[in-house]
Amino acid sequence: MSLSIVLTDSLLFLDSRGKLIDSSIRKYWKKKGRPDIVHRALLTITDSPLYRTKPFDIYIHTAEGRIFRVEKGIRPPRNYIRFCGLMEQLLKRGYVGPKSNPLICTTFDLDEHLSSVDLVVALSEKGETVDPLHVARCISDLDCAIIVGCFHKGDISPNIMKKSDIKISLADLPLSTSAAIAIFLSLLYYVKRWSAEKNKGKAEENS
């Protein structure tokens, strides 16, 4: 199984002075920048046992249509102010870190990546409410991409949603981006972990 996550419609914007807009701190009239949601989502992903066991691809798609790829194994800074500085740099330059070996950089291969996997799953409160454990078991052996909306309200934009094969809801109530990610990655980890343990036990019995 290979996994990737797309944080879509991320609310990352620069103001006219080239500063990162953060509407969670200051109210802006035109654009609702929410880098805090992106920060929490990245921390949730990279803190998960699944990612720590085997890092996977993370893509950040912004509401303005820009796409960035996070280098596998990268851990974002826990300090929010430092993270905002990196996002500001990313939006200005198109990459973070050394240009020859960036930590996060602009990419144009998202469509190609999504078309190459076995299944693209969109997590959406408007999707069909399903047993997430059943879904995790079904996709545990597939090359799969997970699309998650990285915003505080609304739904995934239609041009991104149409790239998904299935649209599912994990609960009967709205979930934050980080909560949806935490639920799904935890289930995938335990399915993978205990399937391996079960297979190991069978192998020992047969030996």
What's residue 29's pLDDT? 46
What's residue 200's pLDDT? 54
Task: Give the span between the Cα atoms of 36 and 11, in whole angstroms.
Answer: 9
Q: Domain 3-206 belongs to what architecture?
A: 3-Layer(aba) Sandwich (3.40)
Among 24-28, 121-125, 148-152, 176-180, where is mean pLDDT lowest? 24-28
The 10s digit of each residue's pLDDT in 22-65 is 987 766 545 589 999 999 999 999 999 999 999 999 999 999 99
Would you place residue 10 in the very low, low, confident or very high pLDDT band (cuts 50, 70, 90)? very high
Q: Which residues contact 62 (CB under 8 A, 6 or more apart)?
A: 9, 10, 11, 12, 13, 68
Cβ neighbours around 205 below 10 Å, total: 7
Domain ranges (residues) in the chain: 3-206
Q: Is the pLDDT of residue 158 over 80?
A: yes
What is the distance in angstroms between the CA of the first residue and the CA of the last residue of the chain?
Answer: 26
Q: Is the pLDDT of residue 165 over 50?
A: yes
The reported pTM is 0.90
The 10s digit of each residue's pLDDT in 88-118 is 999 999 999 999 999 999 999 899 999 999 9
Q: Is the pLDDT of residue 201 over 90?
A: no
